[in-house]
């Protein structure tokens, strides 16, 4: 008997394969999102997936058999805000990379978090501009040698979770591709959350990050995530020095705040 | 039981590295993409943890409990 992958029913017919390179973490993120939808028994036709430019923009589009919006560079959250305001009944999910959401689209990210608009943003953070040839990104770790920083990166990296937390997001979590089960759990929680949810996924780019910086292939990078990550609970008792170069994984923020489309609906009812 | 869709595989070897029971090994043959897909060599050791399925970036591996045939 031939087994069929339980998530294949969500894959667009004709999109026979993921668009990513060998060992890319984006495929693991795609699978985690689809598994969360499958486990919650939600209808994928109620979703609108919005993505931008970059490797991670290819996670939902054209791979997911749902409404997808592949937008201009850095603007997926701006487009998603429009979709959510026009159709508040739709579940809006933004899946894009760190270059798209944190570099060129950084302002959209913080303002969506400030407005607390009901959408889920999943950021595949590979710490580099993978698609364009491995240039330094605002999320590149300090000291890393990339194509454009041959003597090492001298700029500090963005802490995207702290950024969205400070801007006012309702739910913030960080995982790596090694923590695929935790990631699925967080996506499930984010999808059921009313306000703005942000999930940062530290993801491997074996070609532009692993190969150029000498970290190694996809397996070596994922094993590195396993060794260098700490849970939120464990990290709370450690000093700043001990947490240097460590990835803190888990749920960082989970609170209930008034959601934007609900507030607008309330206002509309008062003035009707 | 484990089933591998060999033509979806891109040969990243994540499934082989993260199998706790060393059930999988890379094969010598080539698939349509020109890479070596993994091979199930010790299926009796598999404890159905599903790590290979969970980590496969290309949805090429399915792990399921064997259905009893009548």
- What CA–CA distance (Å, rounded) separates A197 from A35? 18
Split at pLDDT 50, 70, 90, the class of B53 is very high
Residues of A in contact with B11 (CB under 8 A): 22
Predicted confidence (pLDDT) per residue in A191-245, tens digit: 999 999 999 999 999 999 999 888 899 999 999 999 999 999 999 999 988 888 8
Which of B2, B24, B32, B59 is the best residue to mutate to test the A interface, defined by the most A CB atoms within 10 Å of its own CB?
Answer: B59
pLDDT at A272: 84
- Domains of chain A are 20-270 (3.40.50.970)
Q: Which fold has domain B2-63?
A: Alpha-Beta Plaits (3.30.70)
pLDDT at B70: 52
Predicted confidence (pLDDT) per residue in A56-67, tens digit: 999 998 899 999
Answer for the pair B14, A219: CB distance below 8 angstroms, yes or no. Answer: yes
Contact map slice: A 45-104 vs B, CB within 8 A: none
Residues of B in contact with A222 (CB under 8 A): 14, 17-18, 55
Does residue A153 surpass a pLDDT of 70? yes
Count residue pairs from A and B with Cβ separation < 8 A.
70
Answer for the pair A87, A95: CB distance below 8 angstroms, yes or no. Answer: no
Contact flag A5-B59 (C-beta cutoff 8 Å):
yes
> ipTM, 2 decimals?
0.93
Nearest residue, CB atoms, A218 vs list B5, B8, B12: B12
- What CA–CA distance (Å, rounded) separates A210 from A223? 12
Q: Which of A16-20, A107-111, A244-248 has the lowest mean pLDDT?
A: A16-20
The separation between the first and the last C-alpha atoms of chain B, rounded to the nearest angstrom, is 17
What does each C-alpha distance from A230 to A58, A224, A271 come to in angstroms?
A: 29, 12, 50
Contact flag A222-B14 (C-beta cutoff 8 Å):
yes
Residues of A in contact with B58 (CB under 8 A): 17-18, 27
Contact flag A23-B54 (C-beta cutoff 8 Å):
no
């Amino acid at each position: 008997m031939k087994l069929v992958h339980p998530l294949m029913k969500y894959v667009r017919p004709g999109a026979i394969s993921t668009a990513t390179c060998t060992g890319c973490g984006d495929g693991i993120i795609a699978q985690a999102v689809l598994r969360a939808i499958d486990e919650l028994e939600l209808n994928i036709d109620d979703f609108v997936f919005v993505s931008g430019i970059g490797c991670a923009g290819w996670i939902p589009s054209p791979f997911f058999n749902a409404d997808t919006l592949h937008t201009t560079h850095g603007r997926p959250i701006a487009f998603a805000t429009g979709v959510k305001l026009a159709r508040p009944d739709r579940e809006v999910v933004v899946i894009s990379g760190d270059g798209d959401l944190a570099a060129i689209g950084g302002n959209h990210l913080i303002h969506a978090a400030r407005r607390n608009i009901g959408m889920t943003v999943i950021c595949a953070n590979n710490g580099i501009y993978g698609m364009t040839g491995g240039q330094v990104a605002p999320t590149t770790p300090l000291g890393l040698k990339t194509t454009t920083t041959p003597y090492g990166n001298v700029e500090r990296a963005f802490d995207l979770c702290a950024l969205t937390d400070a801007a006012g997001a309702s739910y913030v979590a960080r995982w790596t591709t090694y923590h695929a089960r935790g990631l699925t759990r967080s996506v499930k929680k984010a999808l059921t959350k009313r306000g703005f949810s942000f999930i940062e996924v530290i993801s491997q780019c074996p070609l532009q990050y692993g190969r150029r910086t000498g970290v190694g292939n996809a397996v070596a990078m994922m094993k590195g995530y396993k060794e260098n990550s700490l849970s939120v609970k464990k990290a709370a008792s450690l000093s700043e020095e001990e947490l240097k170069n460590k990835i803190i994984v888990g749920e960082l923020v989970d609170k209930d705040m008034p959601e934007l489309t609900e507030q607008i609906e309330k206002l509309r009812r008062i003035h009707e | 039981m484990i089933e591998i869709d060999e033509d979806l595989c891109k040969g990243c070897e994540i499934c082989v590295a993260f199998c706790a029971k060393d059930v999988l090994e890379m094969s010598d043959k080539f698939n349509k993409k020109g890479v070596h897909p993994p091979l199930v060599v010790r299926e009796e050791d598999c404890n159905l943890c599903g790590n290979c399925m969970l980590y496969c970036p290309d949805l090429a591996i399915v792990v399921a409990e064997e259905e009893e045939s009548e």
